[in-house]
Amino acid sequence: MARLFLSFNSVEFSYPSSIYPVLKNINFELVPGWAGITGENGAGKTTLLLLAAGLLRPGAGNIRSPGDVFYCPQRTDDIPESWEELFFAADNAAGRLLDRLGIGADWPYRWETLSHGERKRFQLAAALWRNPALLAVDEPTNHLDAEAAALVREALAAYRGIGLLVSHDRTLLDSLCGNCLFLREGAVTLRPGGVSRGLAEEERERTEQRGLRKKLSGEEDRLREEALRRRRMVEGSRNRLSKQRLDPKDRDGRGKINLARLSGKDAAGANLYKRMKNRAKKAGEALEGAFPQGDTPRERKQGITLQGQPAGADRLFFLGPGSIPLGEGRSLSFPELVITPEDRIALTGPNGSGKTTLLRHILPRISTSVFYVPQEIGPDESRNILEAVLQEEEKFRGEILSRFSRLGSDPQVLFRSALPSPGEIRKLMIARGIFYEPSLVVMDEPTNHLDLVSIGLLEAALTGYSGALLLVSHDGLFLSRLTGRNWAVSRQGQNSVLRIMN
């Protein structure tokens, strides 16, 4: 039986609009089992998946992969092409998979009304049922509540081929992955174990590198200073041994200078200076050899401030008791809803319970200044946001890109790909929206698509925000640090009910 493996050999890739390669000199080999892919937004994680799946071709190098490959995308816009094969399969495996992931029999026929979490589970069911030799999965737990995430984790664990997993979910990466690929500035490092182990190893290496760089740089500075001191001594000696300022009749002075020259003191000083200069040069070469220019990761300033505009009223929003339709005869009922300038509210509930529908119902009824970040930003809207930023006045554009950088992404990388990643466009939207100093910030699943560092930076920004917050999220830790009230949605049969929990 042929050995199953995936290998990248000296692979480089650039998009047509790129100035620099997105990936450069990528080398690794993987065998059956899950391998995680992690890195900041825009680092090239999805590009790596598309290359492995054969949906992109490298500009240089070669990729060897098993013939049967399936890619499960990050976006959930379209129903999986193979859904009919899955639903009408004549074997028990398809039924067990649908049951395992909690897929409803009517889901294919109401795709437009499914939540993004439900769509993601459907995507994964179609991918796993194919059981390809290589399965490339992009952000499988985005949009999922805790129960659904556990179902997905169990289903992925049963896969026995070569799995590539892009995710910012540490629990998922640590529980599934025997290796992780760490992407940084176009380069990749393969580390054994889950993401927590790999991050700890990466930090240890970076600490050692910083120490070595400091040591080599200090040694170079010390040797250069010593060489400079000795050069001054040689120059002083030469001045002392010069006869130009002596009285022509000063025979004793000339004799002493001649004796000093014969004894070689001047030559010895010059030789010491040359040796010290050479040692300083070698120290500089050692530093350059250990840390070639551009080889050391750039340290960017991080963290933004989110300013709020004081509200001129006691209430930003009021809505009397009522209900809204969710489609297919279902509805969401709610009590009196009020948002005050000091409120920091979490809107929670299972996938498909109507949280996003409620937000869409609320937003047009808010009269104060509001900044809204939706759960998903489609490709066309992403391009429009990027184009709008590029058309801003130079100073304003520069400030937006500076804040984008301080949210943990490189503005140069932003312009390398034909379409910004979902995480990048979310950061760009935030960086642009904060200039309007809203009285209320509404975010639907704000941590979706964001890398781990960026989640922390966003959390810090929202912690310091002086206005009101309404956040929809399945990230309990994120909500616990930012909110004090809970609008909790639960299911009652086919319908949903919202209760206010203080």
Query: Could you say which DSSP state residue 338 is in?
Result: E
Q: How far is CA 396 from CA 194, 413, 434, 435, in A?
A: 41, 19, 12, 9
What 3 state SS string does 220-259 have? HHHHHHHHHHHHHHHHHHHHHCCCCCCCCCCHHHHHHHHH
User: What is the token pair recorded at 498?
Assistant: 């919202």
Task: Using alpha carbons, select from 53, 51, 71, 68 the residue that is nearest to residue 139.
Answer: 71
Report whether 429 contacts 385 (CB < 8 A). Answer: yes
Token pair in block for residue 112:
């437009």
Number of H helices, E strands in the chain: 16, 19
Q: Are 418 and 16 within 8 A, CB to CB?
A: yes
Strand partners, 23: 13
Closest Cα partner for 117 from 87, 77, 84, 148? 148
What is the dihedral sign for C-alpha 124, 127, 132, 138? Answer: negative
Contact between 377 and 385 under an 8 Å Cβ cutoff? The reply is yes
Q: What is the pLDDT of residue 357?
A: 94
Q: Residue 493's CB: how many other CB atoms inside 10 A?
A: 6
Reported as a single tens digit per residue, the pLDDT across 404-438 is 888 888 887 777 666 788 888 898 998 888 778 88
Q: What angle do CA 348, 351, 160 make, to 5 degrees?
A: 125
pTM: 0.68
| 425 neighbors 74 (Cβ within 8 angstroms) | no
Looking at residue 413, what is its pLDDT? 74
Structure tokens at 289: 């050899």
The list of the chain residues with pLDDT below 50 reads 1, 241, 257, 259-265, 293-297
C-beta of residue 410 within 8 angstroms of C-beta of residue 340: no
Rounded CA-CA distance 107/118 in Å is 8
- Whole-number pLDDT of residue 352: 87
Say if CB 129 and CB 100 are below 8 A apart: no
C-alpha 142/C-alpha 120 separation (Å) is: 8
40 three-state secondary structure = coil
pLDDT at site 246: 54
Backbone Cα Rg of the chain = 31
* 3-class SS of residue 455: helix
